[in-house]
Amino acid sequence: YHYRHRNSDSPRSVDIKFDWPAMRVTNSLDGTSWSMKIQPGTQDKFSQQLSLMHAVAAGNRTVEFPVADGGRAKDYSFSFQVEEVVDVEAGSFQSLKMARSKNRRASQASLWLAPKLNYLPVIVEKKERDGLYLMKLKRFAWTEPSTPDQ
């Protein structure tokens, strides 16, 4: 997992490498590295979104993952809140609003997952100390899977 934040006030570079046979993950933040033990099923911040999409598509309305986040494993919990239609630049979508909490604290993020788009998040809302951040899907394109002869 590679994360680059290029904000001029506080740029960050994060790399996370999983060693599954040893059940460890190595975190590197701006050149400083450390390692920690992990449990089976531990995700990174990107794979947890894919795992959430898969779990909700399978009918789960409450989902938990251990996530390697910030040098220690955190328990991410997602719980279904409401089904509603949301309008974004990419279109109007029936969606499932999921609240996310970390380590059993009050929710600090919400995701609206669109079944029509295989539960892709169409809105992500996150509360931070310095304000509320909102990401909305502007566009998407379906691509055809390649076949071995292509």
Look-up of token digits 């996370």? 16
28 has a pLDDT exceeding 90: no
pLDDT at 69: 74
Q: Percent of the chain having pLDDT more than 70?
A: 87
Look-up of token digits 């904000």? 7
pLDDT tens readout for residues 128-141: 888 889 999 999 99
pLDDT tens readout for residues 58-67: 999 999 989 8
Pick the more confident residue, 44 or 52: 52
29 near 12, Cβ under 8 Å?
yes
Pick the more confident residue, 83 or 30: 83
Amino acid letter for position 92: S
How far apart CA 18 and CA 27 sit, in angstroms, is 9
How does residue 114 score in pLDDT terms, banded at 50, 70 and 90?
Answer: very high
Q: Which H or E run contains 47?
A: helix 47-57
Strands (E), 2-146: 2-5, 12-19, 24-29, 32-37, 62-69, 72-88, 91-102, 109-114, 120-128, 131-136
Average pLDDT in the 85-111 region? 92
- Categorise residue 6: left if φ over 0, alpha if ψ from -120 to 50, beta otherwise: alpha
Domain range annotation of the chain: 41-136
7 has a pLDDT exceeding 70: no
32-37, strands of its sheet edge to edge: 2-5, 12-19, 24-29, 32-37
Q: Percent of the chain having pLDDT more than 90?
A: 47
